[in-house]
Amino acid sequence: MMALRAPPCISFPRKKKPFQAPRRRPLPAMACAAVSAAAPAAMDSRTRVEILSEALPYIQRFRGKTIVVKYGGAAMKSAELQDSVVKDLVLLSCVGLRLILIHGGGPEINSWLGRLNIPAQFLDGLRVTDAATMEIVEMVLVGKVNKSLVSLINRAGGTAVGLSGKDGRLLTPRPAPNSAALGFVGDVARVDPSVLAPLLGAGYIPVIASVAADDAGQAYNINADTVAGEVAAAVAAEKLILLTDVPGILQDRDDVGSLVKEIDIRGVRKMIQDGIVAGGMIPKVTCCVRSLAQGVRTASIIDGRKPHSLLLELLTGEGAGTMIRG
């Protein structure tokens, strides 16, 4: 069997003491320039070097650590944002982060269901998945979205490998509690990360579609947020990041300025009890809490509509949404 070779990447010296930068502080002036849409055209060489210098401590902090990213929603619809996400992933991989990308594909699934005159139905935020819908889910997630993301990452200079939960029995599903109403919708019963270890060790980016099959071969549609949280726990990830179409957790759902920049598990649970976190945010927050309870160090819900939000979250003190600590 041919040995896997790591793609070329930038190497930085290790520090004996881990970097402990304060989180959620204002962006430095140079970092602000880095994420400005107009900056690249006007940026001189000295400015570029100073920006890279400011990012170095964050690179040292996360180099060699595993980061699980869930990708979907609005950031997947826009070609410009998709290009931003892919470039962020490739850059982070090249400076030594071990990345796993879990993806959904709801808008694309809805589009194909519409073409075939199959109604899209949802219950408690989950897609009702009968046999016909399950075929479309597999075709879109595994046959189209996964291959497209792998191709985009490779074209941008990264090295990605496409997988689904079926490959190497990476995911073992169990029927969702209300499966009588939901159909072939599953939860994650078990994660076997052994298929991921050699890929991560060789510098590859595993790109995982959130479908799996039980021992009888029955395919299940699994919420991508749930998959991301369970995979992050199974690989002892340093960080879980959910790219969403909201700014993060808000104290007031109608006020973007009420963004909660940092919170712990106890605070999140209280916000759920008080009804502040509700609706579609509950599954996202719950998967973050579950991953933290199983050893993931931090989890972040960030705004995937913001260009280069992954870089803002990982390479600056400002972040790009809400970070939850254990």
Q: Same domain, yes or no, for 81 and 43?
A: no
For 88-154, the three-class secondary structure string (H helix, E strand, C coil) is HHHHHHHCCCEEEEEECCHHHHHHHHHHCCCCCCEECCEECECHHHHHHHHHHHHHHHHHHHHHHHH
Q: What is d(CA 142, CA 136) in angstroms, rounded to the nearest whole number?
A: 10
> Over 80: is that where the pLDDT of 8 sits?
no
SS3 44: coil
The total number of structural domains in the chain stands at 2
Beta bridge pairs of residue 122: 127
On whether residue 125 sits in a domain, the answer given is yes
Q: Same domain, yes or no, for 279 and 319?
A: yes
Q: Same domain, yes or no, for 158 and 174?
A: yes
- Residue 171 sits in a domain whose CATH number is 3.40.1160.10
On whether residue 19 sits in a domain, the answer given is no
Instruction: Render pLDDT for 66-93 as a digit per residue (tens, 0 to 9).
Output: 999 999 876 677 788 888 899 999 999 9
> Over 50: is that where the pLDDT of 26 sits?
no
Instruction: Render pLDDT for 248-260 as a digit per residue (tens, 0 to 9).
Output: 999 888 888 899 9
Task: Give the domain extent around 52.
Answer: 25-62
State the pTM of this model: 0.83
**Is 161 in contact with 207 (CB distance < 8 Å)?**
yes
On whether residue 167 sits in a domain, the answer given is yes
Q: Same domain, yes or no, for 41 and 105?
A: no
Instruction: Render pLDDT for 148-181 as a digit per residue (tens, 0 to 9).
Output: 999 999 999 999 999 999 999 999 999 988 888 8
Q: What is d(CA 268, CA 174) in angstroms, rounded to the nearest whole number?
A: 27
On whether residue 153 sits in a domain, the answer given is yes
| Chosen domain end from 7, 42, 62 | 62
Q: Same domain, yes or no, for 268 and 299?
A: yes
- Residue 5: the pLDDT is 47
Amino acid at 193: P
On whether residue 7 sits in a domain, the answer given is no
- Residue 21: the pLDDT is 43
> Over 90: is that where the pLDDT of 106 sits?
no
Q: Same domain, yes or no, for 106 and 130?
A: yes
Q: Same domain, yes or no, for 125 and 171?
A: yes
| Chosen domain end from 14, 43, 62 | 62
| Chosen domain end from 43, 62, 81 | 62
Residue 153's closest CA among 310, 317, 323, 322? Answer: 310
- Residue 14: the pLDDT is 40
> Over 50: is that where the pLDDT of 35 sits?
no
**Strand ranges across the sheet with 262-264:** 160-164, 205-209, 98-103, 66-71, 239-244, 298-303, 321-325, 262-264
Confidence of residue 229 (pLDDT cuts 50, 70, 90): very high
Residue 23's closest CA among 210, 298, 230, 258? Answer: 298
